[in-house]
């Protein structure tokens, strides 16, 4: 079945530094969704990308969907301690099933 690979698995940054996580698939994706899970919490939906080459911004967060719709990235500018958590990408396999990446755990040194 469809798989999405996410790198890096862990990222530790100093507060104020930028952070990027990448999501890759060997097959063309119909869409990509991004979620954030705080420590001890549950995944919270951030955004969905559907179009080839799409770029969306939410304040300091920038989401991109590759031209071939096989990869995506989430970039955070000037991280803050509130950004701590695990970021997951997820893609549809059929209309019902969401396939999640392994996640990138972000920790921040204040």
Partner 1 sequence: ETGVTQSPTHLIKTRGQQVTLRCSSQSGHNTVSWYQQALGQGPQFIFQYYREEENGRGNFPPRFSGLQFPNYSSELNVNALELDDSALYLCASSLRSGGYTDTQYFGPGTRLTVL
Task: Give the chain's length.
Answer: 110
Q: Which of 14, 42, 59, 110 is in the footprint of partner 1 by CB under 8 A?
A: 42
Site for partner 1 in 51-70 (CB under 8 A): none
Contacts of 96 (CB under 8 A, 6+ apart): none
- DSSP code of 18? -
Element housing 104 (H / E)? strand 104-109
User: According to the binding rule CB under 8 A, does residue 94 interact with partner 1?
Assistant: yes
Q: For partner 1, which residue of 44, 55, 68, 78 counts as binding (CB under 8 A)?
A: 44
Stretch in the footprint of partner 1 (CB under 8 A) among 13-21, 29-37, 59-67, 72-80: 29-37
């Amino acid at each position: 079945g469809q798989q999405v690979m996410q790198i890096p698995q862990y990222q530790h940054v100093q507060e104020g530094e930028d952070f990027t996580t990448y999501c890759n698939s060997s097959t063309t994706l119909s869409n990509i969704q991004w979620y954030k899970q705080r420590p001890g919490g549950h995944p919270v939906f951030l955004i969905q990308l559907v179009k080839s080459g799409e770029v969306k911004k939410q304040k300091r967060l920038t989401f991109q969907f590759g031209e071939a719709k096989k990869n995506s990235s989430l970039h955070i500018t000037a991280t803050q301690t509130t950004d701590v958590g695990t970021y997951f990408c997820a893609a549809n396999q059929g209309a019902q099933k969401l396939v999640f990446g392994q996640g990138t755990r972000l920790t921040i040194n204040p």
